[in-house]
Structure 1
Amino acid sequence: MNVTIVGCSGSFAGPRSPASSYLVRAEHEGRTWSVVLDLGSGALGALQRHIEPYAVDAILLSHLHVDHCIDMCGLYVMMRYVPGGPGRSAMPVWGPPGTAVHLARAYGGRESEDVLGVFDFHDLRHRDPVTIGPFTITPVRVNHPLEAYGFRVEAGGRVLGYTGDTDTCDQLTELMTGADLVLADSAFVDGRDTVTGIHLSGSRAAEAAVRAGGVRRLMLTHIPAWNDPEVCRKQASEVWPGEVELAEPGETYCL
């Protein structure tokens, strides 16, 4: 299994990276399977450097803030109007309840039935695994102002933990335990951002990974353009016993 950082900028697309989007791939039964975790602002363009977007096997949306889902509107256009058709049936999409109506309204008020002709929507439910080819993806409800999930992705004996957007919560332990790689929200900076219940800081991400146990690699992501990533890394390094990695847009990491 490998993961490509399509976009890792927090809250909005930055000058170096689109907002949140991660392409996860694994070999199974003679072909490469691919899922996309989130498709935030600016991500659809960057995704095309790595795969034809309408060839993706499934998309999972952690929550419905624009920096995690808004480029689904562009994908709708691509799927509906690509010359000759996308060559496939409706694309499976998992998201919080109400995702279909939310995206239809975001596109411009069109009826959700039209969107449903392009996408096949399913509701995420806490701890209810989703199976796509070789992937078993378990959504875990996390600590954010609206319904939001992290994803524990398992394939070929490897585990990817993706926190989505969250502050500290007990559920991060089940999301991260034994993970080969954790992609951890690190939007906040200790000593500056004091509001709770929205995002992790580097130190709180590291604390969650240490508490979970068995995490091999910790990688900080969702860092807004106004943050210095090295500050986030330093705060995490004061807690995490190993190397703290920073997600780099366009890079692919093998688990």
Structure 2
Amino acid sequence: MRLTILGCSGSIPGPGAPASGYLLEADGFLLGVDLGNGTFAELQARHDPFDLGALVFTHLHPDHCADFTALTVLRRYHPAPPYDVSASRLPVHGPDNAPVRLARAYAPDDAELAATDLSDVFEFHPLLPGTSVHIGPFKVRPVPVDHLTEAFGLRFSHGGRTLAYTGDTGPCAALEELAAGADVLLSEASWTHSPDRPAGVHLSGTQAGALARRAGVSRLLITHIAPWSDRDAILAEARAEFPGADVVEQGATYQL
């Protein structure tokens, strides 16, 4: 597996820094994982977006899905697509309400919303807790996590290797299941540790590092640091719990 960071800024894009979006590749298959503000431009800089084999969303906050609207325009209105997009609809996996939520983001007004059906170019599949789904060569297990909307952590397996991605979440028991024994844990850590942080929103560097240590992962990659947060302090917290922790870099590629 190969992981590419299209964007890793937390909550909002930062200056020259797209929000959350990743590519996971194996056996020639290209899987998009979240597509937040600014990530579609980064995707185009590396690949033809028509080469995406599927797309999966952890949740539907804009910093993880806003650029789906741009992908919709491309698939609907490109004058010379490389294949018949209506016959080869892109599989999109995500929360159960994704077809309506994403259509509402694309439709310019309520009147058009009623006529906006994105299934002409997309094939939607709900993520179902307690089950696994095969997306291309990947086995993907969604795990519900604790966030402000329906949200999932995702566990990707291929060729004997496992990547666990927290998505956005506060501390919760489900993270232990998600991360257990993973080769790589891609974990959000949006802020430094403090007892007055609100519950059910995000992890601190301390919490991400402690999760990696308890889960026995081989590698911890920190992502989703907000532009107003202290990156060095978050990394120091994570390394105090898990010495091998690193912060991902936009544009970087990691062999898993």
Match of 1:96 in 2: 95
CA distance in 1 between partners of 2:70 and 2:135 (Å): 23
| Residues 182, 219 of structure 1: 8 Å contact kept | yes
CA deviation profile, 1:21-71 (whole Å, cap 9, x unmatched): 0100001xxxx0011110011110111122111210110011010001111
| Residues 192, 230 of structure 2: 8 Å contact kept | no
Match of 2:36 in 1: 40
Q: What is the Cα deviation at residue 118 of structure 1?
A: 1.2
CA deviation profile, 1:140-181 (whole Å, cap 9, x unmatched): 100101110010001111111100000111111121112111
Instruction: Name the aligned partner's letter for residue 57 of structure 2.
Output: L
Match of 1:226 in 2: 228
Residues 56/112 of structure 1: CA separation in 2 closer, same or farther (3 Å cut): farther
Gap runs ≥5 in structure 2: none
The 5 Å alignment of 1:21-60 reads 21-27=21-27, 32-60=28-56
Match of 1:4 in 2: 4
Instruction: Name the aligned partner's letter for residue 226 of structure 1.
Output: W
Runs of 4+ in structure 1 over 2 Å off:
108-114
What SS does the aligned partner of 2:177 have? helix
TM-score of the aligned structures, taking structure 1 as reference length: 0.94
Gap runs ≥5 in structure 1: none
Are residues 1:171 and 2:174 paired? Answer: yes
Aligned sequence identity (%): 44
What SS does the aligned partner of 1:143 have? coil
Aligned length: 249
Instruction: Name the aligned partner's letter for residue 199 of structure 2.
Output: T
Match of 2:70 in 1: 74
CA distance in 1 between partners of 2:235 and 2:178 (Å): 21
Instruction: Name the aligned partner's letter for residue 249 of structure 1.
Output: Q
The 5 Å alignment of 1:141-160 reads 141-160=144-163
What SS does the aligned partner of 1:48 have? helix
Instruction: Name the aligned partner's letter for residue 99 of structure 1.
Output: A
Are residues 1:217 and 2:213 paired? Answer: no
Instruction: Name the aligned partner's letter for residue 123 of structure 2.
Output: D
